A and B are shown apart, each in its own frame.
Chain A
Amino acid sequence: MSFEEINVEINQYFKTVEGFKKDGYEMMIDLTAVDWYRKKEPRFEVIVNLLSVSKNSRLIINVNVPDEDLKIPSICEIYPGANFYEREVFDMFGIEFENHPELTRILMPDDWKGNPLRKDYGSGRIPVQFKNAPKVD
């Protein structure tokens, strides 16, 4: 099994993925993002994970998304299976996917505010209060 990792520029992204699809990477296994808040510039990185069953190899593509404009082309046309993943990244990180057939929130309720997996979004920890808890004195 071979395992490769490449970095591509955002304007080359769609073409690269298309090329790899023609090259025998039949499946898109995973698509996710990482928020490098205050650690790296630019802040967001999208990670696409392709699998070729014929060549038995994996390929990870890293794309940096520019800070000014959180947009990246959608690869739904190439791999229809990217649909849910892109919606998840949109929901969790707020990165927009251009030409996505239906870019809406997927995991959180539609009227939710904020993008939970961003690093500047608190985990929302609330202290749990137990009713009628015995008093300690």
Chain B
Amino acid sequence: MFSPDNIFTTTIDKAVRWSRTQSMWPVTFGLACCAIEMMAAGSAKYDLARYGMEVFRASPRQADLMIVAGRVSQKMAPVLRQVYDQMAEPKWVIAMGACSSTGGMFNNYALVQGVDHIVPVDIYVPGCPPGPQSLMHGILTLHEKIMEGEINR
């Protein structure tokens, strides 16, 4: 519908992109230690509501963003993929923490060495655990990426 370099729709492109960034609803996908930091980011002091994202949706159908917070085990991997598949387009993924980005310090039989083996990841947030500020930085980077990127992904 919108082709990227369409001269007639540049303004509306911008509007669409902007609106996508302003209230991204994350799906609750807390797995381990990082999930606690994600919850801390959502609560009083750091307050994700400033970006319109305080509502962590329990249903993947209502969410745009999956923050994979924590280590993904081999047993969890199919579940994660299923939740991702249920999310409606457009959707983004943030891999929060060393574990979900690369497997972290647990290079062993039980863990998936990075969620990018299962789902496409847009932003990697480093840290073990990344503090709420890091997560917010990741979210803002994602916003930038959306504002600059293509509209039909």
A residues apposed to B, CB below 8 Å: 107-109, 112, 116, 121-126, 128, 130-131
Contact = CB atoms under 8 A, between A and B. Distances in A.
Interface residues of B, number: 11
B122 interface: no
A125 B108 contact: yes
A66 B116 CA distance: 44
Contact of A124 (B75, B102, B108): B108
B35 to A, nearest CB: 19
Contacts of B113: 126, 128
A-B pairs with lowest CB-CB distance, top 7: A124-B109, A109-B75, A123-B108, A125-B107, A124-B108, A128-B102, A116-B109
B128 interface: no
Contact of A128 (B74, B75, B103, B109): B103
Contacts of A112: 74
Interface in B52-83: 74-75
A108 B116 contact: no
Contacts of A109: 74-75
Contacts of B116: 131
B114 interface: yes
Contacts of A126: 107, 113
Given A108-B74, A126-B113, 13 more contacts: A107-B75, A108-B75, A109-B74, A109-B75, A116-B110, A121-B109, A123-B107, A123-B108, A123-B109, A124-B108, A124-B110, A128-B114, A131-B116
Contacts of B103: 128
A93 B74 CA distance: 19
